[in-house]
Amino acid sequence: MQIINRTFFFLILTGILILSSCEVSYLDNDDEWISGDFHLHSDNSDDSDSDMAELISYAENAGFGFFVVADHDKHVIQEDGVLIDDRLETWDDEDYTSDSMIILYGTEWTACYGHANFFSAEPWDHLYLYQMKVEDRVIGWDPTYLSEGWHTTDGKSSAPFSLSSCVFEESEESDSSKDDEVASRTPSIDSSIMVRENKWLISYLVDEVHNLGLHFSVNHPYNDNPWEPNFYEDYDDMEVWNGLYLLGTQNVKALEKWDEILTSGRMLTGRGGSDCHHISSFESNFLLMGNPTTWVKTDGEETGEAVLEALKKGRVSISYDPEGERVDYTADADGDGSYETLPGDNLTDGIGSTINFKIALDRMVKNKIYFVRVIKNGEIFIRDSFTSRDGTYLFSDTPDARSYYRVEIRGSNPEGPDLSALLQGTMIAVSNPVYVGYDE
Ligand SMILES: [Zn+2]
Ligand SMILES: [Zn+2]
């Protein structure tokens, strides 16, 4: 009862805030940033009931510039090992099309020891990658490898990660004709070893994903089949904000891991993804497509390649909702008053010189208080607040060593689904870092 009362109170408060506020802008150029959601499921996934046409229509109405669905790749093969020839991938869905959005192709590689989204500007044959999961017996992986440790080509044996979340089924007699059918569509792969050239399987997988020209994106590293392999593999980005920021997820830990990786000297993009499975049923009361939304700067180029290039480069920020504020974070490295350095940029000669940073907000709400946090090399460097009266938030620093600076904005979040503010916490936007003195 108390929760219902609080909800009504919140809804009334939200209404008052919306009625009494208006947006102000301090942006130079906001037209080259486009939004989307890098982690969506449709009813092609076995645990989603979202209709594809409904997803597309919702995304278009949300103003998204790009669209991708990354369904669980378990549907490539049914549980009894039968290949589903007429519904191999999400993009075979006849409704997977839009006149206004850039369509990307995606799938969620779903293993018990971690999930990763693969993205591309073009479709690909996923079966080859699907089979590279040690828990799948379809192609003949032998689970005894797991108890014996992973084999290296120099004869040593060592497990790179525990696989503690994996529960393996008893091996069953397989129907050889079905195996043949699968094998006939599959490039040859030596399933008797899990390594090649002394590399672990995940390295092999990342290599193969890259060989196919795809983007490798680690999902929800600490919740729902957390990422157990090495975090320092050569993947392309990590989902640092999955679904609602606070409840049901482990985004605080994901951001901590991101900071650890960045501090190690690696430039790595952090992106968002709602992981929305239900666009219209109960869950949509608090989590919808675009919670969070990821923004990428494509410099006006309207292609899937440009979106993925921006994602890889770190021209990326995350907002809690498609209608919520976008953080616009730039830097002036040469003191000419022009903030031409963008998130993802690396000021290779910046160590020892003074750098001016500027934080602005697209859709900034009048009189709303924004709490800004700047993280430098894994530590909180600035904790402050600003409002539309201040317009922008400026700060400077003279780094004496390799450094990164990333920005988090907190505040009220009235644009999300009705119940989300109770579960979301106060995080409203996260920017990717500006780097100084990193090795390229
Ligand atoms: Zn997942
Ligand atoms: Zn998912």
Q: What is the pLDDT of residue 351?
A: 98
Length of the chain as a residue count = 440
303: amino acid identity, one letter: T
Query: pLDDT exceeding 90 applies to what percent of the chain?
Result: 59
Q: Which helix (H) or strand (E) holds 295?
A: strand 293-297
Closest CA to 24 of 415, 391, 408, 416: 391
Q: Are residues 119 and 252 in the same domain?
A: yes
Alpha helices by DSSP H, listed for 218-373, are 251-263, 304-313
- Last residue of one domain, picked from the residues 294, 322, 350: 322
Helices (H) and strands (E) in the chain, counts: 9, 22
Q: How far is the CA of 325 from the centre of ligand 1 (A)?
A: 26
| pLDDT value of position 200 | 54
Dump pLDDT digits (tens) for 129-170.
776 665 433 233 344 444 333 333 333 333 344 444 455 444
Q: Judge if 302 and 259 occupy the same domain.
A: yes
Residue whose entry in the numeric block shows the structure tokens 């497990």: 159
- Distance from the CA of 110 to the center of ligand 2, in angstroms? 8
pLDDT at 284 over 60: yes
| CATH number of the domain where residue 188 is located | 3.20.20.140
Is residue 182 within 8 A of residue 127, CB to CB? The reply is yes
Other residues' Cβ atoms within 10 Å of the Cβ of residue 2: 6
Pick from 59-63, 205-209, 254-258, 317-321: least confident: 205-209
CA of 9 to the centre of ligand 2 (A): 33
Are 95 and 238 in the same domain? yes
Q: What is the pLDDT of residue 207?
A: 86
Ligand (nearest to CA of 48) = 2
Residue 190's pLDDT is 44
Instruction: Looking at the structure, tell me whether residues 277 and 382 fall in a common domain.
Output: no
State in Å: Cα 113 to ligand 2 middle.
14
Interval between CA 117 and ligand 1 midpoint (Å): 8
Confidence at 111, pLDDT banded by 50, 70, 90: confident
Residue 366 and residue 297 share a domain: no
Inter-CA distances, 439 with 237, 376, 398, Å: 18, 17, 18
Q: Average pLDDT of 372-398? A: 97
| Helix runs in 68-214, H state only | 127-130, 144-148, 176-184, 201-211
Q: What average pLDDT does the structure give for the chain?
A: 81
**Cα(319)–Cα(321) distance, integer angstroms:** 6
Residue 77 pLDDT: 52
Confidence of residue 25 (pLDDT cuts 50, 70, 90): low
- 59 band by pLDDT with thresholds 50, 70 and 90: very high
pLDDT value of position 28: 56
346 and 359 part of one domain: yes
Claim to verify: residue 424 and residue 356 sit in the same structural domain: yes
Cross-strand bridge partners of residue 293: 319
Using CA atoms of 102, 305, 32, 116 in order, give the dihedral in degrees to the nearest 10: 80
Q: What total number of domains does the chain contain? A: 2
**Which of 87-96, 189-198, 225-234, 361-370 is predicted most confidently?**
361-370
Percent of the residues in the chain that have a pLDDT greater than 70, as a whole number: 74
More confident of the two residues 125 and 280: 280
pLDDT number for residue 142:
41
Q: Yes or no: say if 134 and 146 are a contact pair by the CB < 8 Å rule.
A: yes
Same-domain status, 378 and 399: yes
Which domain-ending residue is among 322, 342, 376? Answer: 322
**Least confident residue range of 114-123, 190-199, 215-224:** 190-199
Highest mean pLDDT among 73-82, 117-126, 350-359: 350-359
Q: What are the distances in angstroms from CA 76 to CA 187, 285, 337?
A: 16, 30, 53
DSSP state of 432: P
Look at residues 322, 357, 390 and tell me which one is the last residue of a structural domain. Answer: 322
Same domain, 121 and 208: yes
| Cα 349 to averaged position of ligand 2 atoms, centre (Å) | 40
More confident residue, 30 or 266: 266
Residue 293, domain extent: 31-322
pLDDT tens for each residue of 3-19: 444 444 444 444 444 44
Ligand 2 geometric centre to CA of 53 (Å)? 19
Residue type, 351: I
Task: Tell me how far the alpha carbon of residue 72 lies from the centroid of ligand 2, in angstroms.
Answer: 7
Closest CA to 433 of 240, 245, 244, 168: 240
Enter the pTM of the model: 0.84
3-state secondary structure (DSSP) of residue 354? coil
Task: State the pLDDT at residue 146.
Answer: 41
Ligand in nearest proximity to the CA of 45: 2
Q: How far is the CA of 203 from the centre of ligand 1 (A)?
A: 20
Please give the distance, rounded to the nearest whole angstrom, from the Cα atom of residue 67 to the centre of ligand 2: 15
Supply 439's token pair.
């090795």
Residue burial 210-220, b: 16+ Cβ < 10 Å; e: rest:
eeeebbbbbbb
Q: What is the CATH number of the domain that holds 331?
A: 2.60.40.10
Residues 306 and 401 in one domain: no
Specify the pLDDT at position 162: 42
pLDDT at residue 4, rounded to an integer:
41
Q: Is the pLDDT of residue 20 over 60?
A: no
Q: To which residue do tokens 């907190």 refer? A: 410
Q: What is the whole-number distance in angstroms between the Cα of residue 108 and the centre of ligand 2? A: 6
CA distance 164 to 364: 45
How many A from CA of 79 to the centre of ligand 1? Answer: 18
